[in-house]
Structure 1
C-alpha cells in the first residue's frame, strides 16, 4: 500500500452542491493544510430545480440532462476548493436523485412515487458495499455526513446518512468482505449541523434588513425545527474566513442550483458572509478534544 497523508477526511453527500453549502470552508481548509480530502456524491442531482432560464430544458421533465450538466458544475466547484479526489457512489448515475416533496408540516419528504433506480429505493447493503472499498482504500480518520433526519428531511440525505453509517460499520469488520480490502475503523464520525444561535442571528439580520421571504415562515425568536441544532449539541466549529471566497466561488459554480441574487447570497450579503464562514458539526463517534471554549476547532482534534 502506498503511503497515505497523515490526515484523511471523507465526506459523503447526496447531490452536487450539498458539499459546498455545508462543508466548503472545511474542505478548502484541509486541502490547504495538506490533508487528503475525499468526496463521495451519491447521485447526480437529476431532479433539482433549474434556476438558469437558458438551461431549463435540462430539467427532469424535459430533456432530463441536468445530472450530466451537474457533473461539470461539481468539477468546477471542486476546482475552486482544491479537492482532487471526488468520486460518485458506485459510478456516475448509478443511483438516481429521488427528488422530494414538502409535507403538510412544510418539511422535505419522500415523493408519493419514486423510480426503481432512485437512491431511496436502493438496497442498503448493496449501496454500502459501494462505499466500503473506498473507506478501506482511503482509510479516513474522519467521516462527515448528515444526521438521521438528513438535516432537513430530503430522502436522499437520509439515505446517504444510512449508507455512510452502515458502510463505516462494515468497513471496520475484519471478517466482512475481505475482497473489498483490509478492514479500517474510522476514528471520528461527525454529522453536519446548523447551530441554533447562528441561524437565529442570521434570521434576525435578514428581517431587520426588510427581507421577509428568505426562510419564509421562520421566526428569529420562534421554534426552529429539526434542521437546526441547539448549540449545546455542537462539538466542533470550523471558522474559515480565509477560505470564504473559495466557498462562495464554489457555490457560484453550482449555477443551476444557486442564484447569485437568491436566498443563499442574500443571506451572505446581509450577514457580512459570516454565516457561510462557520461550519458546525456534531461528534457521534470518537472522543471529543475541546479547547478552552468547550468546542473543537479541528475535526482531527485528539487524534
Structure 2
C-alpha cells in the first residue's frame, strides 16, 4: 500500500517500484488522500479532454480522476480515493490561511479513520508514504505522513478506530518513507550527461548552497527498477494537466538513467519483522516467513 497526497504523486515517487511489484504478482494499492483539485496546471500544452471542462472544481476533479485511472493502468496497480479536499499550497509572506475544510485542517483521528479501515480491509504487509517533512513542505504531504503513520500504528489495535461491522484489526509488518531528493543521484546523472556530451538539466544548481542545504534522509533500501522506467513514464504522462512531457521529469535520457542510477530508494521507518540493512527488497524479512 502506497499512500500519497495528490493524483500524480504516485507517478513521481516510487512509481517504478510499484510497477515492478505489480508485474511480479504482488497486490499493490495506491491510496490518494485528496482529489488534487487545487493543483495548478503545470503542462503548457494541456487541453481538457473532449467533453470535459477544467475551470470549475468539479471539472478539475473529474479530469484528474480520469488521469489517475490512466496512471494506475500504466503501473498495473489498484487505486483508492480517501476523498479529502486538496489544501493547495499557500504562498506569500505571511502565508494566507489554509482553506476551510481542507485535508491539512482535518483533525488527525478523523483524517486517519478511513485509512485505518482501508488498511484493515486490504491487509498490506508493507506501507510506503512520506517522511515527516512531507518530502517538501506542502501541507497535504505533511498530513499524508501523519495519517499514514497513525494508520500503520493503529490498524492492528482492535480497541482503536472501532467501526461496527468493520474489518478485523491488521498490523502491517513494515513502513517505509519514499526517498525524495538525492544530491548524489543528481550529481551522478549530471556527470554522466556531461560525459556523453549532453547538456545537463542540473547545471550549476547541484553545487549551489540551496542544494547543499536540503537535508538528505537515510537510504536503507534500494530497489532495482530500470526495466520499469517506461511504465513510470507512461504513468507520469497520464497526468496531462500536471506533467509537461517536455519538462524536468524527462530531461535525462533513460539509457543514461538506467546505467548510472537504476534504483529507487526508500527509508525503512519501522519494521515488525527482523531484517538486515541495507535491503534490496521492500519485503525483506517477509518472504522467508511465508516460504
TM range (shorter): 0.7 to 0.9
* Matched residue SS, 1:113: coil
| Contact in 1 for aligned 2:133/2:142 (Cα 8 Å) | yes
Deviation by residue 1:167-187 (Cα, 9 ceiling, x = unmatched)? 222212121134232211111
| Contact in 2 for aligned 1:98/1:156 (Cα 8 Å) | yes
Offset of residue 281 of structure 1: 0.3
Aligned to 1:23: 14
Deviation by residue 1:187-230 (Cα, 9 ceiling, x = unmatched)? 1100001344213323445678445xx56873247563676525
Q: Of 181, 188, 200, which residue of structure 1 is paired with 2:187? A: 200
| Contact in 1 for aligned 2:30/2:79 (Cα 8 Å) | yes
Kindly indicate whether residue 274 of structure 2 is the aligned counterpart of residue 296 of structure 1: no
Q: Of 167, 184, 188, which residue of structure 1 is paired with 2:174? A: 188
Q: Of 93, 97, 113, which residue of structure 1 is paired with 2:86? A: 97
| Contact in 2 for aligned 1:42/1:88 (Cα 8 Å) | yes
| Contact in 2 for aligned 1:192/1:281 (Cα 8 Å) | yes
Distance 1:184 1:252, change over 3 A: same
Offset of residue 250 of structure 1: 1.1
Q: Within 2, Cα distance between the matches of 1:103 and 1:193?
A: 28
| Contact in 1 for aligned 2:190/2:203 (Cα 8 Å) | no
Distance 1:54 1:34, change over 3 A: closer
Q: Of 132, 136, 141, which residue of structure 1 is paired with 2:116? A: 132
Deviation by residue 1:243-267 (Cα, 9 ceiling, x = unmatched)? 1111111111111111111011113
| Contact in 1 for aligned 2:71/2:236 (Cα 8 Å) | yes
| Contact in 2 for aligned 1:201/1:220 (Cα 8 Å) | no
* Matched residue SS, 1:115: coil
Aligned to 1:37: 28
| Contact in 1 for aligned 2:186/2:202 (Cα 8 Å) | no
Q: Compute the TM-score of the two structures, normalised by the length of structure 2.
A: 0.84
Q: Within 2, Cα distance between the matches of 1:134 and 1:165?
A: 14
- In structure 1, runs of 5+ residues without a counterpart are 1-9, 105-109
| Contact in 2 for aligned 1:132/1:170 (Cα 8 Å) | yes
* Matched residue SS, 1:172: coil
Deviation by residue 1:87-135 (Cα, 9 ceiling, x = unmatched)? 111xxxx32111114678xxxxx95232112111112111110111111
Q: Of 76, 84, 88, which residue of structure 1 is paired with 2:81? A: 88
- In structure 2, runs of 5+ residues without a counterpart are 287-291
Kindly indicate whether residue 38 of structure 2 is the aligned counterpart of residue 73 of structure 1: no
Distance 1:161 1:103, change over 3 A: farther
